[in-house]
């Protein structure tokens, strides 16, 4: 259990004129409308300095349940609360283990699904309006002003898990990718307090950016791209601006010639001949492992779901590519697993279900309607990249046996989920006691974890 007494005592001693405790387990919210109040808080903490021995491994340690305190003036808090979907940074301050990082950027974050039921505009397809949920996913930009880092990182992300009452999907999914040898973000849980008030239990998930590539790749200076697929859904190459728009590192240079070369090579061959090109650029075993974990955890809102955009165009999302700076090689990085595990044994989510197995095609590779909302999608195997791996079924099945023996078995999964549940149990109970029905009761939470275990077990049989 996180020791929260030090921060409460500090606030009580230094700001007794503006703070009153509701109970020994909960700090009351501080109204920070006055600059002098903020100055008092800032000055009461020792300033954080990134030391050489500060490793991000500590932040994502699976045995830790860290607490982070975010402080904002009331004006800045009101600004982000009034329009979360704008994803606009405001100035704030981050406190971790009694040390403060000054002048950080703070904003809410999310895609369409993250805002569902949490904004005043009830049209979920058009996220807008003021905040109506107790908590929303947040991004902290450490280097918002100045070239600062925190345990070697420039950004932190705290995911609300509002649609996951087990609070385990994201952490378990990334754990499976990473421990099966696939480069993916690290994730654990964290407690978030805003202006001294308990906000909730969040997924503390690593941001995919330059510090991420520095940590996870031997040659870390290559380009990182977000949600750019090398060919379109008709198998044609992409233009240069498409790749530039997706750049997340080396933006000042914007040299996308390498991935453009891959795109051009694929664009001029048919699906059968694409295999040799794909084999040259993408490591076969790593990509097969990625598909395998993706399918085992039913990551149906990931790269294997080609959603209809317009006309004959279908696009996937929730992934990154990393481009090796020294070789013509690309590495796929999975992202955004909050909807994973939902459709393991039945299609619970009306938007995300994928009809086909990863190697199957439907409707002669034209779009087709599927799911409770009857949305258009296209088979992943129709794509020149994914389809190139459909001939490796035997290798895939062999990897599946290894995956189940080493990681994806109920003995290991039950052990992980029980351990993590023990970590966050008190936080889950506190969230319900403060936020009421907006957060699951202890029994609801337990039931959802048990259903997750049941679903995984059934999917393995």
End-to-end CA distance of the chain: 36
8 Å CB contact between 198 and 347: no
Q: Using CA atoms, how far apart are residues 211 and 249, in angstroms rounded to an integer? A: 10
> 247: alpha, beta or left, given left = phi > 0 and alpha = psi -120 to 50?
beta
Domain ranges, ordered by start, for the chain = 5-207, 219-399, 418-460
Q: What is the CA radius of gyration of the chain?
A: 23
Tokens of 273: 């001949």
Q: What long-range pairs does 60-65 form, CB within 8 A, spacing at least 24?
A: 60/186, 60/187, 60/188, 60/204, 60/206, 61/188, 62/175, 62/188, 62/420, 64/188, 65/1, 65/2, 65/188, 65/189, 65/190, 65/191, 65/423, 65/424, 65/427
Nearest to 38 by CA among 90, 80, 77, 92: 92
| Cα 169 to the center of its chain, rounded Å | 11
Residues ≥6 apart with Cβ < 8 Å to 139: 105, 106, 107, 108, 109, 155, 156, 157, 158, 207
The pLDDT score that the predictor gives to residue 25 is 37
Residues of the chain with pLDDT under 70: 1-36
**Angle of helix 35-44 versus helix 5-14 axis, rounded to 10:** 130
The pLDDT score that the predictor gives to residue 10 is 40
Tokens of 58: 């500590």
The pLDDT score that the predictor gives to residue 112 is 77
What b/e string do you get for 65-95 counting C-beta neighbours within 10 Å, with b at 16 or more?
bbbbbbbbbbebbeebeebbbeeebbebbbb
- pLDDT tens column, 272-310: 999 999 999 999 999 999 999 999 999 999 999 999 999
The pLDDT score that the predictor gives to residue 9 is 36
What distances in angstroms separate CA 353 from CA 1, 299, 434, one per listed residue? Answer: 37, 9, 34
Tokens of 396: 């895939």
Q: Is the pTM of this model over 0.85?
A: yes
8 Å CB contact between 351 and 404: no
The pLDDT score that the predictor gives to residue 31 is 58
Q: Using CA atoms, how far apart are residues 450 and 444, in angstroms rounded to an integer? A: 10
Q: Using CA atoms, how far apart are residues 327 and 333, in angstroms rounded to an integer? A: 18
Q: Using CA atoms, how far apart are residues 346 and 356, in angstroms rounded to an integer? A: 14
What distances in angstroms separate CA 318 from CA 101, 162, 251, 296, 307, one per listed residue? Answer: 30, 18, 20, 17, 12
Strand partners, 75: none
Place of tokens 């393991």: 344
8 Å CB contact between 31 and 77: no
Helices (H) and strands (E) in the chain, counts: 15, 15
What b/e string do you get for 8-37 counting C-beta neighbours within 10 Å, with b at 16 or more?
beebeeeeeebbeeeeeebbbbbebeeeeb
The pLDDT score that the predictor gives to residue 52 is 85
- pLDDT tens column, 10-57: 433 333 333 332 233 333 455 555 566 778 888 899 999 998 889 999
8 Å CB contact between 195 and 32: yes
Q: Using CA atoms, how far apart are residues 344 and 351, in angstroms rounded to an integer? A: 14
Q: Using CA atoms, how far apart are residues 227 and 444, in angstroms rounded to an integer? A: 35
Place of tokens 């990681």: 407
What DSSP letter does each residue of 253-282 carry, written as one string? Answer: T---HHHHHHHHHHHTS-TTTHHHHHHHHS
8 Å CB contact between 250 and 281: no
The pLDDT score that the predictor gives to residue 21 is 29
Q: Using CA atoms, how far apart are residues 81 and 129, in angstroms rounded to an integer? A: 9
The pLDDT score that the predictor gives to residue 124 is 77
Q: Using CA atoms, how far apart are residues 210 and 6, in angstroms rounded to an integer? A: 34
8 Å CB contact between 13 and 41: no
């Amino acid at each position: 259990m996180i020791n929260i007494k030090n921060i409460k005592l500090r606030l009580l001693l230094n700001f007794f004129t503006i703070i009153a405790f509701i109970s020994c387990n909960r700090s009351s919210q501080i109204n920070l409308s006055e600059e002098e109040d903020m100055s008092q808080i800032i000055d009461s903490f020792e300033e954080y300095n990134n030391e050489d021995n500060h490793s991000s491994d500590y932040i994502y340690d699976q045995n830790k349940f860290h607490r982070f305190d975010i402080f904002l003036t009331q004006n800045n808090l009101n600004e982000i609360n009034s329009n979360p979907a704008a994803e606009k940074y405001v100035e704030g301050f981050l406190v971790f283990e009694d040390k403060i990082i000054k002048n950080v950027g703070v904003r809410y974050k999310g895609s369409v699904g993250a805002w569902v039921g949490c904004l005043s505009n009830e049209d979920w397809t058009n996220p807008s309006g003021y905040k109506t949920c107790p908590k929303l996913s947040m991004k902290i930009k450490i280097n918002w002003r100045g070239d600062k880092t925190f345990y070697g990182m420039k950004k932190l992300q705290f995911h609300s898990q509002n649609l996951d009452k087990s609070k385990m999907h994201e952490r378990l999914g990334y754990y499976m990718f990473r421990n099966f040898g696939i480069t993916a973000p690290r994730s654990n849980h964290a407690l978030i307090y805003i202006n001294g008030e308990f906000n909730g239990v969040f997924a503390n998930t690593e941001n995919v950016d330059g510090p991420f590539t520095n940590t996870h790749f031997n040659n870390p200076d290559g380009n990182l791209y977000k949600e750019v697929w090398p060919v379109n859904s008709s198998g044609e190459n992409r233009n240069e601006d498409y790749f530039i728009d997706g750049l997340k590192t080396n933006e000042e240079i914007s040299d996308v010639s390498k991935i453009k070369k891959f795109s051009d090579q694929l664009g001029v061959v048919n699906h059968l001949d694409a295999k040799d090109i794909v084999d040259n650029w993408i490591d076969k075993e790593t990509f097969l492992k990625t598909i395998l974990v993706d399918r085992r955890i039913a990551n149906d809102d990931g790269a294997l779901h080609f959603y209809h955009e317009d006309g004959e165009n279908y696009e996937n999302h929730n992934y990154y590519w990393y481009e090796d700076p020294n070789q013509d090689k690309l590495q796929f990085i999975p992202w955004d697993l909050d909807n994973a595990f939902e459709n393991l044994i039945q299609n619970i989510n009306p938007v995300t279900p994928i009809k086909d197995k990863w190697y199957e095609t439907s409707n002669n590779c034209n779009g087709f309607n599927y799911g409770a909302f009857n949305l258009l999608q296209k088979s992943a195997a129709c794509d020149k990249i994914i389809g190139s791996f459909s001939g490796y079924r035997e290798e895939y099945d062999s990897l599946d046996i290894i995956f189940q023996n080493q990681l994806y078995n109920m003995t290991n999964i039950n052990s992980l989920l029980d351990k993590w549940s023990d970590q966050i149990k008190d936080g889950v109970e506190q969230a319900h006691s403060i936020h009421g029905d907006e957060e699951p009761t202890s029994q609801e939470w337990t039931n959802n974890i048990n259903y997750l275990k049941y679903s995984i077990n059934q999917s393995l049989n």
